[in-house]
Chain A
Amino acid sequence: MTHGLQRLTRSAVLTALALALSVAEGLVPLTILFPLPGLRLGLANLVTVYALCRLSGREALLILTARCLLGSLLGGNLMALAFSLTGGLLALAVMALLVHLPGLSLFGVSIAGAAAHNTGQILAAIVVLGSRAPLVYLPPLLLCSLVTGAVTGGVSMLLVQRLPAPGRA
C-alpha cells in the first residue's frame, strides 16, 4: 500500500513537473529564432528520460500520457494532442529500447528520442492533412533534433546522476 502510494505520488509530481516544463518552454519558443513548425527544445523529455532510467517504462508511459492530455487541456486543442501524443509515444518507444542497449549514453538516447518525436509529429501531420506535404519539414527538423537532443541529453545525464534514486532516499 505504502509502495503504491509512493509510486502514485512520484508519478504525479513528475507529471506536474513535465507539464510545467512544457508550458515554460512554450513561453520562449525556439521558432522565433528559427521559423520551423514543430521545433521545440523538448524539455519535458527530461522527465521522460528520468522516468525511464530511474523508475520504469510503465511509469514513463503513464507520465507522458497524462502530460499530453493535461497539456492539451491547458493550452492546446485536439490537434495539438494528436501531435504531442504521436511524437511522444514514438520517442518513448525508441528511447525505452535504446536505453537498455550497451554502448549508448543518454546523449545518443536523447538524440534518437528527439528524432523519433519529430518523425511522429510529421507522421501525424501527414495523416491530419491527408497529404505528404509536411514531409518537407522533416529533414530540417531531424537536423535540429541533433542539437536539441544533445542539449536535453546532457541535462538529463546530470539530472539522472545528481538526483538520488527514488525509493532509496
Chain B
Amino acid sequence: MRSPAADRRRPTLWDGLTALLVATAAFLLLAALQSEPGESLTAAVTLDGEILAEYRLEEITQPVTLTLDELSYPLTLLVEGDGVSILHSDCPSQDCVHTGKITQAGQQIICLPNRLIVSLTGTHDLDFDAVTG
C-alpha cells in the first residue's frame, strides 16, 4: 500500500494549510462561543441536565461552600464574589479541580464522571434580556 505522505521527509505547504484550517476552526468556534459579558454573573450548578443550585455572584459577600455528597464522586464547590472553583473532588481524574477558578461569563467547570456542569453566565439586570444557553 503506497502512500505519498509516508515517503515525504519534510512538511509541505499543504501541511501548513491543514494547520491553518484547524487554527481557523478553533478561532471561529471561540468567537461563536464568546458569550455576551453581562453586568452580573450567575453561576449555575447542573447535574444531569437539572439545575441544582444557582448563585448571583454579586450577591455573594462571604464565600459559600457547597458540598455535594450524593454524587457518585462527592465534591465541594467554593462560590465567591468573583468566581467559582471546585475545592475538592473524590473523582480519579481531578480535571474539575485542575480547572481552577472560573471568573468570566461563558466559562465552565465540567466534571464528566459526575455529569456535573458549573457554568457562569452573564446576565443583564433586566429580566427580559436573560440569555439561556
Q: Does residue B100 face the partner (Cβ distance < 8 Å to A)?
A: yes
- With A and B bound together, what is the CA distance between A138 and B117 in angstroms? 16
Q: Would you give the shortest CB distance from A83 to chain B, in whole angstroms?
A: 8
Question: Closest Cβ of chain A: how far from B4's Cβ, in Å?
Answer: 5
**Size range of the interface on B?**
35 or more
Q: Tell me the chain B residues, 89-133 only, with Cβ under 8 Å from chain A.
A: 93, 95, 98-100, 106-108, 110, 112-113, 115, 117, 119
Q: Are B8 and A145 in contact (CB under 8 A)?
A: no
Which residue, of B6, B9, B12, has the highest number of chain A Cβ atoms within 10 A? Answer: B6
**Interface range on chain A: under 10, 10 to 19, 20 to 34, or 35 or more?**
35 or more
Nearest-neighbor residue (CB-CB) of B2 within chain A: A100
- CB-nearest residue of chain A to B35: A136
- Within the complex, the shortest CB–CB distance from A125 to chain B, in Å, comes to 6
Selected from A35, A112, A160, the residue in CB contact (under 8 A) with B18 is: A112
Interface SS, A side = helix
Contact A131 to B5, CB < 8 A, known contacts A105-B15, A108-B15: no
User: Which stretch of B22-30, B63-71, B75-83 is in the interface?
Assistant: B22-30
**A125: B residues at CB distance < 8 A:** 110, 112
Residue of B nearest to A138 (CB): B29
For A55, what are the chain B residues with a Cβ–Cβ distance below 8 Å?
Answer: 1
Establish whether residues B49 and A108, one from each chain, have CB atoms under 8 Å apart when the complex forms: no
